[in-house]
Structure 1
Amino acid sequence: MKVKDFTSALEEIAPLNYAEGFDNVGLLVGDYNADVTKVLVCLDTTPEVIDEAVREGANLIISFHPIVFSGLKKITGKTYVERTVIKAIQNNINIYATHTALDNSFEGVNRGIVNQLGLKNAKVLIPKENAIKQLITYVPNNDAEKLKKALYAAGAGHIGNYDSCGYIIEGKGNFRPLEGSNPTIGNINTLEEVDETRIEVVVPQHKESNILKALFTNHSYEEVAYSLIALTNKNQYIGLGMVGELEEAMAEVDFIQYVKQKMNTPVIRHSRLLNKEIKKIAVLGGSGAFAIKNALNAGADAYITSDLKYHEFFSAEDQIILMDIGHYESEQFTINLISSYLKEKFSNFVVFNSGIITNPVNYS
């Protein structure tokens, strides 16, 4: 198996072009065509994790966080980032990071928190914008079915739990082939009128190149007439955070203890208690202060995230309980999510979790 086999499988649920613009995802160190011995999954790649990979004979590390986040101007071993990269290169270890690509996945980081807390009716908290386009094309009636099936097979018309979604209408098309053309239908310098089918399908952003390739490969005309239109619709199945509901409402104090237990966290920083029951919960793994308003607008009773600053707790406005459970703690179950997925995809290959706790925050 090659590195690209594992990364391509992971990108089926976490396409890299759904990562946030500030992020640095994908293969950070190594070669997509390198043969893989074993796969080590971790939250953070550190020099200690590289040593672990060497001991265990793994040459592909799938890391949630990218070890190289901003540009490196020197690699001298002065920082832990530089030491990690040097050690990886010296030992022919490939490092791949998924980060916000997995954050935005419906089956990603926040789904892991939702599952851990046992929340029901989960929906994306902040649906991603500019992630859907509409493809419109025209084809002779006799060729419409073949083209439609090819577009669907390439990923067009996929909306949530539905696929093969499209709209078709028949009508009349006309064109005149000019000198130099090689028309499938008609003659040079003769105006032609053809019974055509108009096909409309949605195009998920990460499938666009495959869908266009299918369009040009399977369309019967020499010159393909089509429109690809950006939509303002938000993709309800891609985006940051999630909101769901407990099976039964809990008192605030009971809920705090419940979160401590389920999320394996020793301490929770939270805003003022409001003496009301907790039922609807918003979650966002990692640093989530930017989504406080989204949690409020979603009608959540509590918002679970991390890295909240002092003044950000005032944003609760006595309407919601803000809960900071710690950055590492909010993302810790991501390791199992990634490894379980890869083990299912590659059942005859060794995929294992790092045994090193990389949380830089300690509690006394």
Structure 2
Amino acid sequence: MVYLIKDVISHLESIAPSAYQESYDNARLIVGSPEAQVTGIICSLDVTEVVVEEAKTKGCNLIVAHHPIIFKGLKSLTGKNYVERTVIKAIKDDIAIYAVHTNLDAVHQGVNQKIAQKIGLSDTKILAPKKGLLTKLTTFIPRDNSEEVLQVLYQAGAGIIGNYSHCSFQTEGEGTFLPMENATPHIGSKGKEERVAEKRVELMFPAHLQSKVLQALKSAHPYEEVAYYLHPLDNDHQEVGSGMIGQLPEAIPGMDFLQHLKKSMGLQVLKHTAVLDKKISKVALCGGAGIFLLGQAIQSGADVFITADVKYHEFFDADQQILLADIGHYESEIYTKELLKDLLSQKFSNIATYLTNVVTNPISYL
């Protein structure tokens, strides 16, 4: 079967919607045409000239990366830095670049879940769920049509709460209406008031699916004019947010945990605060620069917080309340390329999908 780049994008955005990226981010198709046929995919943390050359050598015309090669706007393409040289090379070699960044950080099955799996955590949850991402739909459906309409709404992505689907609240009542001169009523006659047994149905959906959900409602609802209203919700979206928290199989001493962390994540070195006189059981983490979550990690009762890019004075903020470990930005997110390969191989089994062999870490250790 032939797949286009837009098919790959659609699949990834069904898992990590672009609506979940941070406002400063640039997660998107950065180079290339969405209509191009995919010949092969390279999965990488970063994109550099060497990664583009690797893609060319392996016959791949799509690089799926975590970090966007273009983060801020480019005002010229003269090759004066590695970003411009990489983009120029990708265009010349007809290789597309797609980035899935903070939106993949934000979802439960994303970057932080991959780290949690490497460490061996269970019962994982989002550390800091986001608000303002959910909407409630209330509509009124003839009783005899309610199940049919509900199934269409569920298929459009409505009615999911955590690990449960097909979630709705329904009450029965009576709807009244009088079709006027220009109406073409499904039930009743012009100029005659009708009374119909109806169900009031309420269900939640991710706000970015609003157009899809409303289109599904209107396509399945039998009435010419569909009565509904929408309520933005301030609820936490438990499956979307920053960081993650989970449990070790058993509590272990702090130094033993740091050794386990070093081995499981393949670290050459890690930085950490003083080891506290208590065992490690509850683990909070955030791939990349996540020190902004230190307060939530402490409040959650975690024994350790693992992240990267911690500044000198920020280590003091642990204040002997939690063990703080900085494992490095590249090191914390390098297994994201494995996550991407798994997500793509499961969906597109007939497309050659590779992990990059290029070490893009700009930091070396002596």
Aligned equivalent of 2:153? 151
Per-residue Cα deviation, 1:259-287 (whole angstroms, up to 9, x for no partner): 11111111111122222211111010000
Judge which range, 281-290 or 20-29, deviates more: 20-29
Aligned equivalent of 1:267? 269
Residue of 178, 201, 205 corresponding to 2:203: 201
Aligned equivalent of 1:7? 9
Measure the CA separation in 2 of the matches of 1:136 and 1:67.
42
Post-superposition shift, 1:205?
Answer: 2.8
Structure 1: state its 5+ residue gaps: none
Post-superposition shift, 1:250?
Answer: 1.5
Judge which range, 340-349 or 319-328, deviates more: 340-349
Residue 285, structure 1, aligned to residue 296, structure 2: no
Aligned equivalent of 1:95? 97
Residue of 324, 343, 349 corresponding to 1:341: 343
Residue 246, structure 1, aligned to residue 268, structure 2: no
Per-residue Cα deviation, 1:278-321 (whole angstroms, up to 9, x for no partner): 11110100000110001011100100000011111111121001
1:139-178 map, 5 Å: 139-178=141-180
1:1-364 map, 5 Å: 1-364=3-366
Matched residue of 2:15: which SS?
A: coil
Measure the CA separation in 1 of the matches of 2:234 and 2:208.
16
Post-superposition shift, 1:186?
Answer: 2.9
Measure the CA separation in 2 of the matches of 1:9 and 1:162.
21
Q: Given residue 275 of structure 1, which amino acid in structure 2 is its aligned partner? A: D
Measure the CA separation in 2 of the matches of 1:59 and 1:227.
45
Per-residue Cα deviation, 1:182-211 (whole angstroms, up to 9, x for no partner): 222233344332211111111123433221
Measure the CA separation in 2 of the matches of 1:75 and 1:189.
67
Measure the CA separation in 2 of the matches of 1:117 and 1:136.
43
Matched residue of 1:12: which SS?
A: helix
Q: Given residue 263 of structure 2, which amino acid in structure 1 is its aligned partner? A: Q
Post-superposition shift, 1:164?
Answer: 0.8
Indicate the percent of aligned positions where both proteins have the same amino acid.
47
Structure 2: state its 5+ residue gaps: none
Post-superposition shift, 1:172?
Answer: 1.0
Q: Given residue 108 of structure 2, which amino acid in structure 1 is its aligned partner? A: F
Instruction: Report the aligned-residue RMSD.
Output: 1.2
Q: Given residue 15 of structure 1, which amino acid in structure 2 is its aligned partner? A: P
Matched residue of 1:330: which SS?
A: helix
| Structure 2 contact 38–351 (Cα < 8 Å) conserved | no
Q: Given residue 181 of structure 2, which amino acid in structure 1 is its aligned partner? A: E
Matched residue of 2:365: which SS?
A: coil
TM-score (norm 1): 0.97
Q: Given residue 229 of structure 2, which amino acid in structure 1 is its aligned partner? A: S
Matched residue of 2:185: which SS?
A: coil
Measure the CA separation in 1 of the matches of 2:342 and 2:216.
32
Report the count of equivalent residues. Answer: 364
Judge which range, 34-43 or 262-271, deviates more: 262-271
Measure the CA separation in 1 of the matches of 2:282 and 2:75.
46
Matched residue of 2:74: which SS?
A: coil
Measure the CA separation in 2 of the matches of 1:304 and 1:168.
44
TM-score (norm 2): 0.97
Measure the CA separation in 1 of the matches of 2:178 and 2:319.
66
Measure the CA separation in 2 of the matches of 1:265 and 1:145.
54
Judge which range, 185-194 or 65-74, deviates more: 185-194
